[in-house]
């Protein structure tokens, strides 16, 4: 691993053309294209030097010279990281860092991961949101057994779709993810991707999460709080942004920045606010939206991603906090809790004018509901044989459930009903889906999702078209404490 940034193709092109280091090279596809005026306009105005140093992510060395193949070595290992001042925490990491290395590809590229498990427990890697073959998806036992301690596994697949994704284990996942095992994957548009507008600004990729630690730095017991802890979903007390507590980034007043965020927390919902600023949300789980949406606050349930444009403005030297705001996702989840500053933006330099915001539109076709198979499931709470809390789908915990069935090419309309007093972020592996309203009309603006919040005592509907990737696919609540307590099922996609 190294910590130097590999430049995205656009930044590289800018370097060649601009003949300066145009700075801003921090972000993936940044560079002059983002911040300069159109040809003949003003000289390139960029974010301040070092603006994103505090949130830079580790990148993995590419072991394959073929530019269309990213081949990396990834080791899951315990590493002592400074989380609580004056102590270290034996975090569970990919490659010794939180988050694990940022994997950066172009749509159509191949990803090869030589994985080695140096943890004391079996594990797998799941590629959240990527349309991979079922046997590469990291679902333990469904297709391949988990990777035992000391063992290796090679994941290899093509990445078809531009967007922001992430990777995390799927064994004992509340504990493993909660202890630090996750990383981001950014897939840049390829020749066959919907074209991406230019001039969106320099880019930050932010992996947000939290971690439960004791005062002496040791990891909190992953089962702390017993059944109540399971029902609430355990949130870590320290919020991390790219592994750091409240890191500081710089912003040139008036310039746009593009923030691409992953919620990698085991249970925490992220409701984010920038005082006296708003967000233009341009993308979600599966790339760009049909049209952007103006939002006062961003909401990311566990597993979700957001792509948003922010224009920070004010007096040079002023600091603007990005705030986590408590959100009521059910009894006991927001009472007596305070906002938390998770990232600080300090304005630096003279006010600049980025020019008009480029138009962003994307044609998104929603599969027809005509002739689609109706599937209805309920998210349920019950009691296990020992009288403890057991969650399930239709009253059955994952370890006793029969798979649902679908055939290649089939379209299904799922109605997911939440019968509990807590919200559940519902995630389907391997396929994007489209939310529809009760009458079957697509929810606007259209977007491709892989995770959707199902509010307590309500239902949500979505339509999904299964493509040609047979096998066993998981679906579950992405409050990982809930998934581990049984709120998980399998879909068997058959020829
Ligand atoms: Cu990120 Cu099974 O999920
Ligand atoms: Cu849940």
Quick one: which atom of ligand 1 is closest to the CA of 139?
Answer: 2
Quick one: which atom of ligand 1 is closest to the CA of 475?
Answer: 2
Please report the pLDDT score of residue 183 as a whole number: 98
* Nearby residues for ligand 2 (ion, Cβ within 5 Å): 424, 477, 479, 482
Distance CA 422, CA 413 (A): 23
Please report the pLDDT score of residue 180 as a whole number: 98
| Ligand 1 binding pocket includes 460 (Cβ within 6 Å) | no
For 179-227, what is each residue's pLDDT tens digit?
999 999 999 999 888 888 888 999 999 999 999 999 999 999 999 999 9
For 252-310, what is each residue's pLDDT tens digit?
999 999 999 999 999 999 999 999 999 999 999 999 999 999 999 999 999 999 999 99
Question: Around Cβ 133, how many Cβ atoms within 10 Å?
Answer: 14
| Ligand 1 binding pocket includes 260 (Cβ within 6 Å) | no
Ligand 1 centre to CA of 304 (Å) is: 10
pTM for this one? 0.92
| Ligand 1 binding pocket includes 427 (Cβ within 6 Å) | yes
Place of tokens 């539109």: 361
Of the candidates 423, 450, 98, the residue with the CA atom closest to the CA atom of residue 239: 98
Quick one: which atom of ligand 1 is closest to the CA of 166?
Answer: 1
Distance CA 152, CA 117 (A): 6
Long-range contacts, 91-95 (Cβ 8 Å, 24+): 91/179, 91/180, 91/211, 91/219, 92/119, 92/176, 92/179, 92/180, 92/181, 93/180, 93/181, 94/167, 94/181, 94/182, 94/183, 95/1, 95/58, 95/60
| Ligand 1 binding pocket includes 306 (Cβ within 6 Å) | no
Peptide bond into 445 cis (omega under 30): yes
Tokens found for residue 45: 């105005």
| Ligand 1 binding pocket includes 303 (Cβ within 6 Å) | yes
| Ligand 1 binding pocket includes 281 (Cβ within 6 Å) | no
| Ligand 1 binding pocket includes 5 (Cβ within 6 Å) | no
User: Ligand 1 atom 3: the closest Cα is on which residue?
Assistant: 128
| Ligand 1 binding pocket includes 429 (Cβ within 6 Å) | yes
What is the three-class DSSP state of 176? helix
Ligand 1 centre to CA of 349 (Å) is: 41
Please report the pLDDT score of residue 143 as a whole number: 83
Using 70 as the pLDDT threshold, list the residues of the chain that sit under it: 1-44
Ligand 1 centre to CA of 124 (Å) is: 11
Place of tokens 């906090």: 321
Of the candidates 375, 360, 470, 388, the residue with the CA atom closest to the CA atom of residue 426: 375
Q: How many Cα atoms sit within 13 Å of 46 on the Cβ side?
A: 22
Contact 23, 49 (CB under 8 A): yes
Contact 139, 124 (CB under 8 A): yes
Distance CA 1, CA 391 (A): 40
Quick one: which atom of ligand 1 is closest to the CA of 429?
Answer: 2
Please report the pLDDT score of residue 193 as a whole number: 87
């Amino acid at each position: 691993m190294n910590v130097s940034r590999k430049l995205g193709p656009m930044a590289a092109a800018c370097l060649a053309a601009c003949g300066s280091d145009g700075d801003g090279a921090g972000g993936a596809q940044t560079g002059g294209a983002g911040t300069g005026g159109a040809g003949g306009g003003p000289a390139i105005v960029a974010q301040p030097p070092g603006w994103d140093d505090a949130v830079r992510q580790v990148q993995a060395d590419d072991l394959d010279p073929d530019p269309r193949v990213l081949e990396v070595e990834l080791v899951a290992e315990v590493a002592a990281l400074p989380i609580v001042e004056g102590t270290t925490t034996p975090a569970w990491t990919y490659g010794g860092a939180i988050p694990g290395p940022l994997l950066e590809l172009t749509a159509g590229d191949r990803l090869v991961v030589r994985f080695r498990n140096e943890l004391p427990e079996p594990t797998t890697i799941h590629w959240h949101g990527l349309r991979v073959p079922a046997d590469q998806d990291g679902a333990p036992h469904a297709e391949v057994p988990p990777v035992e301690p000391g063992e290796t596994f090679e994941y290899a697949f093509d990445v078809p779709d531009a967007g922001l994704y992430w990777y995390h284990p799927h064994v004992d996942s509340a504990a493993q993810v909660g202890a630090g095992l996750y990383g981001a994957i950014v897939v840049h548009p390829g020749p066959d991707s919907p074209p991406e507008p230019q001039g969106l600004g320099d880019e930050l990729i932010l992996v947000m999460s939290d971690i439960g630690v004791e005062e002496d730095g040791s990891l909190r017991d992953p089962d702390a709080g017993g059944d109540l802890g399971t029902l609430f979903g355990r949130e870590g007390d320290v919020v991390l942004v790219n592994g750091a507590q409240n890191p500081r980034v710089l912003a040139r007043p008036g310039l746009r920045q593009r923030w691409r965020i992953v919620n990698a927390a085991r249970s925490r919902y992220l409701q984010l606010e920038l005082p006296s600023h708003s967000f233009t949300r341009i993308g979600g789980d599966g790339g760009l939206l049909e049209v952007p949406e103006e939002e006062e606050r961003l909401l990311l349930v566990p597993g979700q991603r957001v792509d948003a444009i922010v224009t920070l403005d004010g007096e040079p030297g002023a600091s603007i906090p990005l705030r986590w705001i408590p959100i009521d996702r059910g009894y006991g989840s927001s009472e007596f809790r305070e906002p938390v500053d998770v990232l600080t933006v300090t304005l630096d330099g003279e006010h600049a004018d980025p020019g008009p915001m480029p138009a962003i539109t994307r044609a998104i076709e929603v599969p027809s509901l005509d002739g689609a198979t109706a599937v209805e499931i309920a998210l349920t709470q019950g009691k296990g044989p020992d009288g403890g809390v057991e969650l399930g789908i239709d009253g059955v915990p994952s370890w006793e459930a029969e798979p649902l069935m679908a055939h290649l090419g089939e379209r299904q309309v799922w109605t997911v009903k939440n019968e509990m007093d807590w919200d559940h972020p519902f995630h389907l592996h391997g396929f994007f889906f489209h939310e529809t309203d009760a009458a079957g009309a697509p929810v606007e603006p259209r977007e491709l999702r892989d995770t959707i919040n199902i509010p307590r005592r309500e239902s949500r509907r979505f339509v999904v078209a299964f493509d040609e990737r047979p096998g066993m696919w998981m679906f579950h609540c992405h409050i990982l404490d809930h998934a581990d307590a049984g709120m998980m099922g399998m879909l068997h996609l058959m020829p």
